[in-house]
Amino acid sequence: MAGKDLEKSKEAEGFEHEFESGLAVISETKISDPGLAPHRVRMTDKSPKHAKNAERQVAVLFLLSVVGSFFALWAYVAFPITEDLATVRANNLWLGLGMTLSLLGIGIGAVHWAKTLMPDFEVSEARHQTRGSEDVRAAAVEIVKLADQESGFSRRKLIRRTMYGALALFPLPALIVFGDLGPVVGDSLRHTMWKKGTRLTKDPTGIPIKASDVTLGSVFHVIPEGLAEMHEHKLEEKAKAAVLLVRLNQEDLKEDEAKKSWSYDGIVAYSKICTHVGCPVALYEQHTHHLLCPCHQSTFDVTEHCKVVFGPASRSLPQLPITVDAEGYLIAQSDFLEPVGPSFWER
Amino acid sequence: MSLRKRINGSRRSPLAAIIVIAAGLLFSGGGFAVATSVVESNIATAYTADQIAEGKKLFLSNCASCHGLNSEGTKAGPSLIGVGAASVDFQVGSGRMPGQGSGPQLPKKTVQFTEEQIGLMAAYVASLAPGPAIPEDQYLEATGDAAHGGELFRINCAMCHNAVGAGGALTEGKYAPVLKGVSAKHVYEAMVTGPQSMPVFNDSNLTPTDKQDIITYLAYMDENESAGGYALASLGPVAEGLFVWIFGLGGIIAITVWLAAKSN
Amino acid sequence: MTTAVSEKKPEGALASTANYLDERLGVGSILKNFGRKVFPDHWSFMLGEVALYSFVILLISGTFLTFFYQPAMTEVIYDGSYVPLKGAQVSIAYASSLDISFEIRGGMLMRQVHHWSALLFVAAAGLHMLRVFFTGAFRKPREINWLVGFMLFILGMAAGFTGYSLPDDLLSGNGLRIIDGMIKGIPVIGTSISAGLFGGEFPGTEIVARLYGLHILLVPALILIFIAIHLFMVVIHKHTHYSGPGRTDENVVGYPLMPVYVAKAGGFFFIVFAVVMLISATFTINPIWNYGPYDPSPVSAGTQPDWYIGWLDGALRLAPTGLDISFLGHTYPFGVLIPLVGSLVFLGLVAVYPFIEAWVTADKREHHVLDRPRNAPTRTAIGAAGVTFYGVLWAAASTDLIATFFQVSLNQVLVSMQVMLIVGPIFAYIVTKRTCLSLQRKDREIVLHGRETGRIVRLPHGEYIEVHEPLDKFEMYKLVDFKDYRPTIVRPNEKGKITVGTRIRSALSRIYFEDRISPVSQSELNEAQAHDHSPAIEATKQEQLSK
């Protein structure tokens, strides 16, 4: 019956247990092992001259290492760092090359020594079966049994079960103290800094943008008024509030009836935070009116409310409703009407 | 006192108000119209009639077949009315124009005209309608604020051109080219004209000083070699990963083959 | 009354030191048991060493960095020598990383050594894992060591990721942003994990310091523990060796630890260090000054993670559009969850492979002789398919660079890779399996008939034959000593039932072993030699060759 043959008993010492060989085919007519191949004599074994040469080569390599070490020490001092960036490059290079030589000399020297001068006779060492011998295993079993008897672990159900309960529960307080790693997730993902009347300003200066500044074909990177001057939570707010501002010809925009009022004279504003996993969707292709995210190449069509036309994103970029104030500066009509950025459970 | 008496008593003509309002509307409306078409603060270069005529000749023999006899554009090429001298100087000066072949993007080629010829063609196109002019030298010197330029570059340019201008991909075979070695003038002109897929960065978005700062940043990157050694084309972790596998691990494996081989 | 106790006083410095240590630590016994331990010598066994030495280099260079790096996200104005960042508002973490690079002698070098060595560590560990896989070194008794090694690979990735996020630069910051986006997408608990990890909203002011704690304390400690277990098991099991004359499952053939291995392996450490040092002295890595400080608004073209995270980034890029589902008031972003779960499934399969193969073969013997990949065609083909899958995902992380470099459309590159992800592994499996079987047939030919010498001899009756050089018995044994398995057929168990498990196992055993080449047996060899070496042929050959 194929697959259930037991192996012939091993002659090597310590391999007393016979394992099942499963689906292995044990051939009766296997070509026999000829034993270790004869040793091939090296030049350095035969000829004292070659051996002496090899010795000198190893010594030279070790000496090169010494040269390298001294060179590195010298380079550290000889190549100081100043305001000029080229000094950094020089220091890095020469210090590094010195250390390279210092290490390489030892390495190649040691290996060359081993290869040419140390004996290269192959030796065979017997393995021992990893599985213990029957005696050892029996003794181990006895010890465990004794421990069980003396402690009464198996017998005393009450102790055992309450122990399990205690051990299962004691790590929990250790886990719960990590609860203060972060605050409770509130509504923060649904709100950004944008409010009714917030001016659109240039990133990073915070200078407000007039509608007349936004010419056909231009793109402005926008932050809400007030962000540039913030000190606390600046990046957290920016990570939700960054916006892209472009102007298209009104006839190129295919707008939903409900969202027609969100644009101003062909100027549209969209969240810059990609709805895939949050990178800034910053590439604007002027003629195709596509926004491309450089991280995973999600592509959004500005003419159709930034719906996804390619790439792994699913949702279109949230649109910021804008208009102008009395002085002609672009302002938001309200916050985004949906959470910006990647999808999440509570969305 | 009656209303009539009050009006009659004022020193101004009753038409004065109307004239003032009309003038105001004209200026603001006209200014608005100009602003929405072109927002540039460059001082228009004065071109002579001769220059414009010579330029027109060059245009008709080299450009009209795609851009139309009156630069109105054809299926093969867009209208050049309003693109300004800067566009011509950039496109022809970098060899992109005259455009040859089809494809997602017109590449740089050998420049086919002399500086003088380019200037003449620029004069002609500038005469068609107001447009971005060739930038003044003062904005092209690398004496601006490289740090400010770097910050602006990262926000406005790095997403297409890479943080140090090593180039990048756009969709459908288009690309943002490498910026190393590009002249300050061409960098300025590209920003101001928005060639091909590149958006327009008018002077309200990036002021001439901002543009100079960006030029200064790029010049710094061009002139200063990377402080850590060879930069592997500044392509980032992909280049570094390939390098470590091929040369690092590859080299070490070559050494292990030597190490484990029997000595002679 | 005195008890006579003889004490031999050791003479010489070496002897007295040895005596001192032996009396306190028992080093004599250690030397006796381990000093002449035999290790087999093959270059493919050194890949694990490369990983180990890279780790040591990481510890050394990392310690230097800890003296200068500060893991704080508080904003300061940069005022160092790097002109394009002067006056910029950056975090202390970023500023200290810049200072290491530009203000401290050897700082740039140590930073580069650290990062290059990190890339090498994971590369060597990965290649080592592949060597172990393709030679079947994960078989009994080494299954647990495979799991330990697998954990080391994962920990290496974790160490790398936490490490390169520490300078808080634009590139790694966007990487964190992506991770945060993925975490937020996890159902039910995602937003809480995100808030917990970042201490609030992204990016927060905590993450760098937390990653620092993981990077210098927890992850290296785990790596050290796992390395210790890994090496301890190599000592217990002894190293495997390739098949060959004199090599069996009951012995290990090689060279003694002292002095050969001490010299070779010790020297190799210096060589690996030298290679890393050479690369670090001459090539820039992770130029954080180019990227600028992290800010959620700017981004650089060519935003990729370090190479060992590349396959995960590629998985994100290859996901098709529009996989998000909104259902009953909750959003399931499958565009993110499928790559995430898919990667975990892939890793899981890698981890449990030894157990699957052991279950199929039911071979419970210890295996210490390695397989040549061609002699385990199905395993090698599965490995090739896995490598192709991983490789396509890895390449997918650089779609934009491929597009610009080869001047092709980004979109076409991506779609091609989506197709290759499915087709590639299947194709690789088929081609590899067929190639292995063909190579095995070629080996058989060589064993039976010897190597072709290219010398043609004309026999008296007009036939032309090519003279074959027979293998000597040592070369021959290497080609005939490999394990052969047979598929099993479905059989009912004691209760007379055929279980689902048995069916599956039988089907798998057919996939594994139905197409197989058995090693040449002695009788086949005799027959072939009788045929090739008939007196007539031999006589003619001798005559022709002596001319």
Domain boundary pick from A92, A116, A140: A116
Chains near C, with 3+ CB pairs < 8 A? A, B
**Together in a domain, A199 and A320:** yes
Contact residues for A75 (Cβ-Cβ < 8 A; gap 6+): A91, A94, A95, A97, A98
ipTM for the predicted complex: 0.91
Indicate yes or no: CB of C287 within 8 angstroms of CB of B260.
no
Relative orientation angle of helices C334-361 and C170-184, to the nearest 10 degrees:
80
* Interface residue C22 vs chain A (CB under 8 A): no
In a domain, A10, yes or no: no
**Which residue would you say has higher pLDDT here, A49 or B24?**
A49
pLDDT, residue B106, reads 86
Indicate yes or no: CB of A218 within 8 angstroms of CB of B200.
yes
pLDDT, residue B40, reads 46
* Over residues B123-146, mean pLDDT: 91
- Distance from the Cα of A333 to chain B's closest Cα (Å) equals 22
d(CA A195, CA A31): 85
Domain C52-241+257-311+318-371: CATH superfamily is Cytochrome Bc1 Complex; Chain C (1.20.810.10)
* Interface residue C99 vs chain B (CB under 8 A): no
- Residue B258: closest CA among chain C residues belongs to which residue? C43
Indicate yes or no: CB of C409 within 8 angstroms of CB of B163.
no
Out of A92, A215, A286, closest to residue B39 by CB: A215
Q: What would the two tokens of residue C228 be? A: 């210790």
> What pLDDT, in 10s, does the model give residues C498-537?
889 999 999 999 999 999 999 999 998 888 888 777 776 6
> Is the predicted pLDDT of residue B28 greater than 70, yes or no?
no
pLDDT, residue C547, reads 65
Relative orientation angle of helices C107-134 and C47-66, to the nearest 10 degrees:
150
d(CA B19, CA B14): 9
C-contacting residues of B 82-111, CB under 8 Å?
104
* Over residues A68-88, mean pLDDT: 95
> What pLDDT, in 10s, does the model give residues C210-241?
999 999 999 999 999 999 999 999 999 999 99
Residue C405 CA to its chain's centroid (Å)? 29
* Interface residue A123 vs chain C (CB under 8 A): yes
**Together in a domain, A98 and A209:** no
Between strands A243-247 and A307-310, the pairing is unpaired
φ, ψ (nearest 5 deg) of residue B153: -60, -45
pLDDT, residue B22, reads 60
Contacts of A219 in chain B (CB under 8 A): 199
State the DSSP string of B163-209.
Answer: TTS--EE-GGG-EEPP-TT--HHHHHHHHHH--TTSPB--TTTS-HH
> Is the predicted pLDDT of residue A163 greater than 50, yes or no?
yes
* Interface residue B166 vs chain C (CB under 8 A): yes
**Which residue would you say has higher pLDDT here, B35 or C139?**
C139
> What pLDDT, in 10s, does the model give residues C271-280?
999 999 999 9
> What pLDDT, in 10s, does the model give residues C397-410?
999 999 999 999 99
- Residue C84: closest CA among chain A residues belongs to which residue? A85
Confidence bin at B20 (pLDDT 50/70/90): low
In a domain, A181, yes or no: no
A-contacting residues of C 396-455, CB under 8 Å?
399-400, 410-411, 414
Q: What would the two tokens of residue A77 be? A: 């001092």
Helix (H) / strand (E) containing B119: helix B115-128
Indicate yes or no: CB of A110 within 8 angstroms of CB of C246.
no
> Is the predicted pLDDT of residue B116 greater than 50, yes or no?
yes
Q: Are C157 and C308 in contact (CB under 8 A)?
A: yes
> What pLDDT, in 10s, does the model give residues B49-58?
898 999 999 9
Contacts of A92 in chain B (CB under 8 A): 227-229
Contacts of A314 in chain C (CB under 8 A): 321-324, 333, 335
Q: Are C197 and C210 in contact (CB under 8 A)?
A: yes
Range of the domain at A265: 191-332
Contacts of C521 in chain A (CB under 8 A): 27, 29-31
pLDDT, residue A1, reads 39
Indicate yes or no: CB of C307 within 8 angstroms of CB of B244.
yes
**Together in a domain, A107 and A216:** no
Domain boundary pick from A116, A151, A172: A116
Number of domains composing chain A: 2
> Is the predicted pLDDT of residue C167 greater than 90, yes or no?
yes
Residue B86 CA to its chain's centroid (Å)? 8
Backbone φ/ψ region at B24: left (φ over 0), alpha (ψ -120 to 50), beta: alpha
* Over residues C17-46, mean pLDDT: 90
Q: What would the two tokens of residue B149 be? A: 């330029």
> Is the predicted pLDDT of residue C158 greater than 70, yes or no?
yes
In a domain, A13, yes or no: no
Task: Give the C-alpha distances (Å, rounded to integers) separating C279 from A255, C117, C156, C283.
Answer: 55, 10, 21, 6
> Is the predicted pLDDT of residue B13 greater than 70, yes or no?
no
d(CA A110, CA A49): 20
Q: Which residue from C390, C368, C500, C375 is spatially nearest to C438, judged by alpha carbons? A: C375
d(CA C205, CA C184): 18
Q: Are B132 and B45 in contact (CB under 8 A)?
A: no
pLDDT, residue A5, reads 35
Helix (H) / strand (E) containing C331: strand C330-333
d(CA A162, CA A164): 5
Contacts of A200 in chain B (CB under 8 A): none
**Together in a domain, A108 and A211:** no
**Together in a domain, A197 and A74:** no
- CATH, residue A248: 2.102.10.10
As a whole number, the mean pLDDT across chain A is 91
pLDDT, residue B3, reads 46
Domain boundary pick from A116, A139, A154: A116
Indicate yes or no: CB of A110 within 8 angstroms of CB of C267.
yes
In a domain, A274, yes or no: yes
- Distance from the Cα of A282 to chain C's closest Cα (Å) equals 7
d(CA B197, CA B168): 12
What are the domain boundaries of chain C?
52-241+257-311+318-371, 445-546
Q: Percent helix, strand and coil across chain A, each rounded to 5?
A: 40, 15, 45
Question: Of A226-230, A278-282, C322-326, which gets the smallest average pLDDT?
Answer: C322-326
**Together in a domain, A92 and A222:** no
d(CA B235, CA C405): 11
Indicate yes or no: CB of B262 within 8 angstroms of CB of A42.
yes
Helix (H) / strand (E) containing C151: helix C143-164
pLDDT, residue C224, reads 98
As a whole number, the mean pLDDT across chain C is 93
**Together in a domain, A242 and A325:** yes
Q: What is the model's pTM? A: 0.91
Give the whole-number percent of chain A exceeding pLDDT 90: 76
pLDDT, residue A334, reads 95
Give the whole-number percent of chain C exceeding pLDDT 90: 78
Out of B229, B238, B259, closest to residue C268 by CB: B259
